[in-house]
Every structure is written in C-alpha cells, then in structure tokens.
Structure 1
Amino acid sequence: MMPTSPSSRIVLVTGPTKSGKSEWAETLAMQSGKSVIYIATAQTNADDPEWQQRISQHRDRRPADWLTVEAPENLIETITTAPSSCCLLVDSLGTWVANLLEQDSITWAATEQNLILSLERLDNKDVIVVAEEAAWGVVPAYASGRLFRDRLGQLVRRLGAVANSVYLIAGGHVLNLSLLGSPLPTPLNEKR
C-alpha cells in the first residue's frame, strides 16, 4: 500500500441502511476545516418519487456552501480532478457499484483497482467514503444481487485496508474500527 501524503486522509464510514452513515460522514466533513465537495453517486429518477425524496433529504441536510458534484459513474475522475486542499464526501459507494454492475469481471477489476489507486495518490485532499454493508443478510437468490453484494463487499474490504480511519455505524452508535480492531492481511491474490 502506498501511503497517502501526510496532509491527505481517507475515511471509510460503513454500516447498514438508515444507520446514520451519511450524517456521521457529514459531521466528519464539517470537522475537516476544508471546503467540502459532496460527490453524489445517485442518479435521479423522476419516475420514482420515493427515491427523489431520499435524494432531497440528503440535499436539504447539507450546508449551502458545499459544492455538489453528481458522479454516478465517473467517481475516479471526479476524485483525481478535484482541487487540492478540499474534503471530498462520496455518498455512496454501493450506489456507484450498482451503477457499474453491467461491467464484465475484467473491466470491473480494473475499475476497482483504479479507484483504490486514485485514493492512494491523493494530493492534499481528504476523502470520506460512505459505504453500505450489504452482505449481512441472506445470500440473494438472483445472480445480479450476488454480484452486487460480492463486488461491494470486496471493495469495502479493500478500501478499509487503505483508509486512515474506518467507522462502523450500528444501533445508533459510531464505532471507530481503526481503534477497536485489527485489519485483516491482504489476500495473496490482491497483493501488488
């Protein structure tokens, strides 16, 4: 793992649905003291009012001075081209993975690797990534559900290995896994 520069930081905030992940990530972004760029990976859908309401709730909660960039597919480019000395808040990794689910396994492996490399090569930026824990339930009965769960789970694990801090939000509590736990070794098939 290539360390980020001393003035850069990667934070992973993970947990189940409606646990408060986004709120905790927003709190961390406000505490960074840097200008915040909120990177939204969700795609709007006028035919889905409930989805639009979820997006509006997130939008309404953010401070007015935060810049919002929609990056449903071009997350890597958005991270690498963002200005230095800022805090990027990516919400959410699961939505981004879902948006790219049609990629074949070879293309996805390259995409996943490029995301990790872009985070390892930060230029005086903080990046806070919100990610869902999608694999705490039963194995999905359909192939696309299993593919999504496996890709997101693997990516969250890889991101956790390069993050400076990892938080789990569960049961209305914030747990700093970086202080409470020990990282797993990198599997041999993932070592560079």
Structure 2
Amino acid sequence: MKKSILITGGARSGKSALAERMALQPAGRAIYIATARLHDGDDEMAERVAKHKARRGAAWQDVHAPTDLAGALQDTDGGVPRLVDCLTLWLTNLILEDSDWQAEADRLVETLARQSAPVVFVTNEVGQGIVPENKLARLFRDAAGHVNQSVALACDEVWLTVAGYPMKVKPNDHSF
C-alpha cells in the first residue's frame, strides 16, 4: 500500500468499501477516523453509522474527528493505516461552524506530508452536477473541489469509483 490514497466518486459508488479493503491490506487492522456528526433525532444517520461499524467489525479502532482532522491524524500516526471517511462531511462541519475551512484544508495537507503511517481518504465528487441555486450550496461545491484537489495533489494515489468499479487516476503526467 502507498503512503496516502484519495478515493473519490459519487454517492453509493463503492468508495468506502474500496477504502476499507485498502486500509486493511497491510496489517489486517486499521483506524477508522469518522467525520460524521450525529444529531439528536437523526435516526437515519445513526442507522448508517451503526451499519458501517457492524460491517467493519473488530479489526477497526474508531476515532471521531468531525472538525480537527489534522489533529486526529497526528494523534494516530506511527502505527496501523488510517481511513478518513469522509472529507466532504468534514468540510460540511467546518462550513456550518463558520470555521476557516481553507486554513484547515491547508493544515490537513501539511499534516499529511509528515505522516509515517498510511492514510486512505474518502471524499465525494460533487462538481459534476448542475450549479446549485443558493450561495451556501455553491460555496460548498467550490470548497469541496478545492479540498479534493489539494488532498489529491498531496496523495500518492487517487482512485475514482463508478458503480462499484475503481479506476486509478493518479499517478499520471501533469507536465502539460
């Protein structure tokens, strides 16, 4: 496994399952860094989280990091691979808290460069649809594109999943 991998794709494209397989490959165990926030009354999200945990099983140690992703990577470095699921939920949390998402993205990329244990990131590709009708949605779409490009540039590999099929899109020649 390479040092750092970004897996992107649309909703339900197979990103998380691929990321889980990649993170477990080297050691048979890994750390799952979850960025989702559970809110009171959001039973559907709680059910999703429970299904994810059950599917992963005992080979995983869970760490919850809804906003301080760079800190979570620093705290968990030096051992087994880490899986961050997902960057777009992390970005959502930052935007909704009115945090400086750009500074946090820069901090994440800087932290990634110093990691010794592998990191697999999951993110959503949100830029292939229509231009959103409201300012917040456009901000999110543009910020997600920026974060995805920054992390992709910092990663050793980038994969795109479509209908359960992974396609390797990096490394490639950026000399044009």
TM-score of the pair, normalised by structure 1: 0.85
For residues 68 and 163 of structure 1, what CA distance do their matches in structure 2 show? 22
Say which SS state the counterpart of residue 42 (structure 1) adopts. coil
Q: CA deviation at 1:48?
A: 1.5
Comparing 167-176 and 91-100, the one that deviates more: 167-176
Deviations 1:45-100 (A, max 9, x none): 23112111211121111121311011111111000121402211000000000000
Paired residues, number: 176
2:126 is equivalent to residue 115 of structure 1: no
What pairs up with 1:149-188 in 2 under 5 angstroms?
149-178=141-170, 181-183=172-174
Comparing 56-65 and 19-28, the one that deviates more: 56-65
Comparing 11-20 and 94-103, the one that deviates more: 94-103
Quote the residue 1:136 is aligned against: 128
**Structure 1 residues without counterparts, runs of 5 or longer:** 1-6, 186-192
Aligned mate of 1:49, from 22, 43, 46: 43
**Structure 2 residues without counterparts, runs of 5 or longer:** none
Quote the residue 1:69 is aligned against: 63
For residues 100 and 184 of structure 1, what CA distance do their matches in structure 2 show? 34
Query: In the alignment, is the contact (CA less than 8 A) between 1:21 and 1:130 conserved in 2?
Result: yes
Query: In the alignment, is the contact (CA less than 8 A) between 2:31 and 2:60 conserved in 1?
Result: yes
One-letter amino acid matched to 2:114 = R
What pairs up with 1:58-97 in 2 under 5 angstroms?
58-97=52-91
Deviations 1:26-54 (A, max 9, x none): 00011122641100000112311211121
One-letter amino acid matched to 1:127 = V
Say which SS state the counterpart of residue 118 (structure 1) adopts. helix
For residues 184 and 157 of structure 1, what CA distance do their matches in structure 2 show? 16
Quote the residue 1:98 is aligned against: 92
